[in-house]
A and B are shown apart, each in its own frame.
Chain A
Amino acid sequence: MLYSEIVMDHFRNPRNVGEIENPDGVGEVGNAKCGDIMKIYLRIEDDVIIDVRFKTFGCASAIASSSMATEMIKGKSVQEAAELTNKAVAQALDGLPPVKMHCSVLAEEAITKALNDYLGKKGRPLLPERNQNQLAHDHGNR
């Protein structure tokens, strides 16, 4: 099997699938040309992420990355969530094949975008975002 057991578990039983009505933050990244689109919804109270949901069009790695990333930021503060890296997501999944590392990058970016949506509404400084065009097929990590 191409994927680790953890990836397959999150693919078969994705956590936090769905939408949040009137979310405090929402971020969508990726494009159909590359075969991956991720959309993250956040519910934030007192700067703490109390609920997070996702919808993803993509391969098993993309779905597992979305699922794991949402698990990793749930209950965390905005500041803590902002520090989540794609590398941490990939490590939590017990690794991704090199050609699939871009899925973890997309998960990180979707969260950043959703957090920025929240921060922007609050009139607070935004987090730096990666360039989507450069990221689309970025197979590396950081």
Chain B
Amino acid sequence: MNGKVYMDYAATTFVRPEVVAAMMPYHSISFENPSSLYSYSDGNRRAIEEAREAVADLIGALPEEIFFTGGGSEADNWALKGLAFSRAGKDKRHLITTETEHHAVLHSMDFLERMGFRVTYLPVDSEGFVSIDKLKEAIRDDTLLVSVAFANNEIGTIQDVEAIGKVCRDRGVLFHTDAVQAVVHVPIDVKSMGIDMLSMAAHKFYGPKGVGALYVKKGIRLENLIHGGGQERSRRAGTENVASIVGMGKAASLASEEMESDSLEICKLRDRLIDGVMSTIPHTRLNGPVGDRRLSNNANFSFVGIEGETLLLDLDDAGIAASTGSACASASLDPSHVLMAIGLSHEMAHGSVRLTLGRSSSDYDVARLLEVLPSIVEGRRAMSPLWDDYMARREVL
């Protein structure tokens, strides 16, 4: 990766060369509109359907249950708003989600509340897990849908999706999961897991940006979000992004073959990273669970006494790309809603860094991170009044 250390795979991945190669002909050679009647378009239509099969295979769905979208956020929006609007005026106007969802879900829920729907936001425990008992209690006679992310994008918590799916099935409530972070890291079988709708995005698993998919179980009717032509069986209008859809299909088929071995390798690196940070930097908290219940590529830390953005910029100076849930690194000044939901203080929530690994991550990357991070943390703590206060309190205690 050109000498740089990239540890932000949860934000996006590179596009695999095999995927780029698969996409290339559809930019300038087979460029015809797949909706056109002439025979030149036949190949493009076939390519889209092959991609649909590959994406369906990845999650145990039927090809006709896969609808391509402009990405994961669109898939989330369509699942929630499309279902709500299809039931508008009927008696089921209650939705359930969690406090730690991605903003694509939370902001869609906000919108639906303004449209007169009622939403219950389930709390999570200190590791980010939803309580199955609390979910059962929250379901009412008028509950239409439960939406719980398969895996959290910040702290990597993998929910017990099978148990959630079972509760929903038993109670006659539909279950949507935002699986944008989980796809290719966790084996997914929508049928056995009781999932009715599932969102995914290609750029999280070595496909191109700007393309995603929504799995919709056969028989579920969603109102369209995008009206126009008859593409995607008249449920999502707009000329198909053929090259990107083909790329998503190629990335999905590669992932189906290599998921298990990739995850094992990345998991070993992740554990080395976590062990290294926790053992070399005192007064550090690992956010999220340990072991198999955490995404194999995710590590998230809070460092007492420092604000996350400073670490991010210092790491950048050292050639390491990372991410933070720190408010100050974004347009909002509020700390991460995920870290607050798992019970962190404002200080600790402001001082978080997310490091996520991928296919190109190596021993060198982890070693380089462990080489520079301890001194960065030490340096920034030395200029922090919060750190002084923390140490003084410890001395008193």
- Rounded to whole angstroms, the CA-CA distance of A60 and B305 in the bound complex is 14
Cβ–Cβ < 8 Å partners of A11 in chain B:
310, 313
Judged by a CB distance under 8 angstroms, whether A113 is at the interface is: no
Q: Of A8, A12, A58, which contacts B328 at CB under 8 A?
A: A58
Chain A residue numbers with a CB within 8 Å of B384 are 55-57
For the complex, what is the distance from the CA of A118 to the CA of B329, rounded to whole Å? 35
CB neighbours of A17 from chain B (8 A): 382-383
A56 contacts B383, C-beta separation under 8 Å = yes
Contact B310 A32 (CB under 8 A): no
Secondary structure dominating the interface of B? helix
B333 touches A35 (CB 8 A): yes
A137 part of interface (Cβ distance < 8 Å): yes
Nearest chain B residue, comparing its CB with the CB of A33 = B346
Q: Which of A26-47 contact B (CB under 8 A)?
A: 28, 32-39
Q: How far is the CB of A113 from chain B (nearest CB, A)?
A: 13
B346 lies within 8 A of A32 (CB): yes
- Tell whether, in the assembled complex, residue A55 and residue B388 are in contact, meaning their CB atoms are under 8 Å apart: yes
Q: Which single residue of chain B is at the shortest CB-CB distance from A137?
A: B333
Chain A proximity of B360: nearest CB distance (Å)? 24
Q: Does B387 contact A (CB under 8 A)?
A: yes
Determine the chain A residues whose CB is within 8 A of the CB of B331 once the complex forms. 99
Complex CA gap A36/B329 in Å reads 13
> How far is it, in angstroms, between the C-alpha of A51 and the C-alpha of B331 when the chains are bound?
35
Q: A114-134 interface mask toward B, CB cutoff 8 Å, 1 = contact, 0 = none?
A: 000000000000000000000
Q: Are B345 and A32 in contact (CB under 8 A)?
A: yes
**A89 near B: Cβ within 8 Å?**
no
The winner among A18, A38, A39, A54 for most chain B CB atoms within 10 A is A39
In the complex, what distance in Å separates the CA atom of A36 from the CA atom of B310?
A: 12
A60 touching B310, Cβ below 8 Å: yes
Residues of B within 8 A of A59 (CB): 307, 309-310, 326, 328-329
CB 8 Å contact bits of A73-86 with B (1 = contact, 0 = none) = 00000000000000
Check if A95 is an interface residue, CB within 8 A of chain B. no
Given A11-B310, A28-B385, A60-B309 in contact, is the A35-B328 Cβ separation under 8 Å? yes
> Smallest Cβ distance from A7 to chain B, in angstroms?
10
A35-B346 contact in complex given A57-B305, A59-B326, A59-B329, C-beta closer than 8 Å? yes
User: Is the Cβ of A57 less than 8 Å from the Cβ of B306?
Assistant: yes
CB of B317 within 8 A of chain A? Answer: yes
Whether A14 is near chain B, meaning CB under 8 Å from some CB there, is yes
> What's the minimum C-beta distance from B314 to chain A, rounded to whole angstroms?
8
> In this complex, which of A8, A18, A59 has the most chain B Cβ atoms within 10 angstroms of its Cβ?
A59
The verdict on B335 contacting chain A, using a C-beta distance below 8 Å, is: yes
The verdict on B220 contacting chain A, using a C-beta distance below 8 Å, is no
Q: Which of B313, B335, B347, B385 contacts A60 (CB 8 A)?
A: B313
Please give the residue numbers on chain A whose beta carbons come within 8 Å of chain B beta carbons, in ascending order.
8, 11-12, 14, 17-18, 28, 32-39, 54-63, 99-100, 102, 137
| Other contacts beyond A38-B385, A57-B385: 7, CB < 8 A | A11-B313, A36-B328, A57-B305, A58-B328, A59-B309, A60-B310, A61-B328
